[in-house]
Amino acid sequence: MSAATPTPAAARPGQAPRTPAPVENRPRRRGSRTGRVALYVTLTALLLVFVAPMVWAVSGSFKPRGDIFEYPPSLIPSPATLENFRNLLSGQPFWNWFAISVVTALLATAIAVFVCALAGFAFAKYRFAGKRLLFSVMFSSLSVPFAVILVPLFVLIVKSGLSNPWFALIVPWVAPAFGIFMMQQYIIQSIPDEILEAARIDGASEFGIFWRVVLPLLRPPLGALAVWQFLQSYNSFLWPLVLISDTDRYTIPLGLNILFKAENRSFDLVLPGAVLASVPTILVFLLLRKQLLEGLSAGAVKG
């Protein structure tokens, strides 16, 4: 038997009852505070590593060409000038590159989000012949590098007469296996079959169930997938390099690459181009940041 907890002695007649001595507060553990400080220091260092190149690009884009690599470096341009932006926009077809990159990335993202949600819903909630085999083939394609299918895909596109950049730049991104798998897993975990059965009893069609019931519940993973897909398409370099030969139809990565590979290394044009090219990605993140964070954290905390 365990020892009984001692109780305060009863007060004698005529004596005031004794009050127990206050329990001293335990000092906080120094280890947890040290670990938290170390975590903040590490995160701050990583933040500086990721932010420093962008800060340098913004600063350098407003400097004259001779001051970009000055030593010691200065973050504040002195004097600040817009001449680099004027030279870029007047001497290069930058707005053509910008339009092709943004439009194709938005179209590829919209199509991919819809296709992945629809395919993920089918894999999650329906039974059909060859389902396991088809899902296994789709999932195993994640292990195949894009460079392996680059040449066969290019030959197929050209022989089909679909080599127009506005169409061909979208094709590789319309049904990513990662997006289908992500949607399938989220639907299995978050959407019970009872909701779908209730919609069928109310007379909804199968596509109506997907459009009116399932799709509104997929906002968090759809936001995360949209950000990922936009970045994949917008930053694509290898596929446009193989597909496009006309300089005026280049995407932004290809356009900045030819400026960087120029004989005189046109950093005074590359830096403002990089700053302008980052605007769409920042806007997409700001618009979908809530859905992105919810989608990335879905399933991390059990309810």
Q: What are phi and psi of 72, to 5 degrees?
A: -70, 150
The CA-based angle 256-175-107, given to 5 degrees, is 50
Rg of the chain taking only CA atoms, in angstroms = 29
Which pLDDT score is estimated for 15? Answer: 57
CATH at residue 102: 1.10.3720.10
Res 207: pLDDT: 92
Sequence-distant (6+) residues with CB within 8 A of 222 are 113, 117, 215, 291, 295
Measure the N-to-C terminal CA separation of the chain; round to a whole number of Å. 39
Q: What are phi and psi of 70, to 5 degrees?
A: -65, 155
Token pair of 75, please? 């973050």
Residues of the domain holding 77: 36-81
CA dihedral over 286, 288, 289, 292, signed as positive or negative: negative
Q: Is 119 in contact with 183 (CB distance < 8 Å)?
A: yes
Tell me what pLDDT residue 187 has.
Answer: 93
For residues 160 and 172, what is the distance between their CA atoms, to the nearest angstrom?
15
Give the CA distances from residue 290 to residues 218, 277, 295, 297, 303, in Å, rounded to whole numbers and listed in that order.
13, 23, 9, 11, 19
Q: Would you say residue 214 lies in a domain? A: yes
Q: Average pLDDT in the 53-80 region?
A: 84
Alpha carbons 172 and 162: distance in angstroms, whole number: 13
Can you give the pTM of this predicted structure? 0.79
Query: Given the structure tokens 């290069």, which residue do they identify?
Result: 92
Q: How far is 104 from 252, CA to CA, in rounded Å?
A: 12
Hey, what are 225's tokens?
A: 């997938």
Please state, rounded to an integer, the average pLDDT across all residues of the chain: 84
Considering the domain architecture, whether residues 103 and 171 belong to the same structural domain is answered as: yes
Lowest mean pLDDT among 11-20, 78-87, 152-161, 240-249: 11-20
pLDDT digits (tens, 9 = 90+) for 276-293: 999 999 999 888 888 777
Determine how many CB atoms are found less than 10 A away from the CB of residue 6: 6
- The reported pLDDT for the residue numbered 35 is 82
Residue 215 lies in a domain: yes
Q: Assess whether 207 and 92 both reside in one domain.
A: yes
- Tell me what pLDDT residue 77 has: 83
Closest CA to 243 of 177, 298, 179, 162: 162
Confidence of residue 158 (pLDDT cuts 50, 70, 90): confident
How many folded domains does the chain comprise?
2
Within this chain, do residues 97 and 67 fall inside the same structural domain, yes or no?
no
Report pLDDT for 56: 87
pLDDT tens per residue, range 17-29: 555 555 555 555 6
| Same structural domain, 122 and 236 | yes
- pLDDT interval class at 295 (50, 70, 90): low
How many residues are there in the chain? 303
Neighbours of 65 (CB within 10 A): 17
Same domain membership, residue 76 and residue 183? no
Residue 74 inside a domain? The answer is yes
Task: State whether 185 and 293 are in the same domain.
Answer: yes
Location of structure tokens 């290394």: 265
Which residue type does 257 have?
N
- pLDDT at position 27: 53
Answer yes or no: is 26 within a domain: no
User: Any idea which residue has 């590098």 for tokens?
Assistant: 145
Q: Report whether 177 contacts 139 (CB < 8 A).
A: yes
Q: How many CB atoms lie within 10 A of CB 147?
A: 9
List the single range of 3-12, 33-42, 74-83, 239-248 with lowest mean pLDDT: 3-12
